[in-house]
Amino acid sequence: MIKFAPEGLPFIAGAAAVTVAVLAALRNWIAFIPFVITLFMFYFFRDPERATPVDAGAVISPADGRILLVTEVKEEEFIGKEVRKISIFMSPLNVHVNRAPYDGEVVSVKHTPGSFKKAFLDEASLHNDNIAMVLRTTKGDILLRQIAGSIARRAVCRVKPGDALKQGQRYGIIKFSSRVDIYLPLSAKVIVKPEDKVLSGETVIARWDEGAAK
């Protein structure tokens, strides 16, 4: 059975209602337009099950999409040290439900208002509207940043400080095209590269160095 993200139900219901109203009022081909939009809403807000690998040494992708960037940066605001950063771009055709990359406890969730530049641009990571969530793990803190794009105007983080997350567990969604940046401790060895395609909850994007601990 196909599942849908609950955040998408108002969009699906609204598009379906417009389709029915246009069909009832006009009874012609114009109803085809909202009907196609309704089908797209069903497609966009799909939330398929994923087979998360049982692997304590793996970091799993938090988002579907295309790897934009793999680099090292100093993350000042939440972690305060050098980290590995992976940026993932989600097109409107990707599943937009986000999942935890590793087991851990949520220690902070912060929404920062901002602009709505195209999500694949470098400056989107710094200036776009976003929600930052810090996940405390046995390997160190992981920062996950859900970034709104030029079409996406809202990210949703379903968790709060104190919540425990399991690897592969759903924790949020971004509506329409968008981006997720993940910041990992230097003990994580990144195994993806720009232009690679990844699946949330399934694709291994990094591996912990043997013996790495917080």
- Catalogue the active-site residues: 178
Tell me the HSE value of 9 on the side-chain side, using a 13 A CA sphere: 5
Cβ(132)–Cβ(109) below 8 Å: yes
**Cα–Cα separations (whole angstroms), residue 100 to 9, 35, 52, 165:** 23, 34, 10, 7
Count the residues in the chain: 214
* Token output for 130: 């976003």
Nearest to 98 by CA among 70, 125, 72, 135: 135
> CB atoms < 10 A from the CB of 2, how many?
9
Nearest to 159 by CA among 147, 177, 146, 148: 146
What whole-number distance in Å separates Cα of residue 107 and Cα of residue 109? Answer: 7
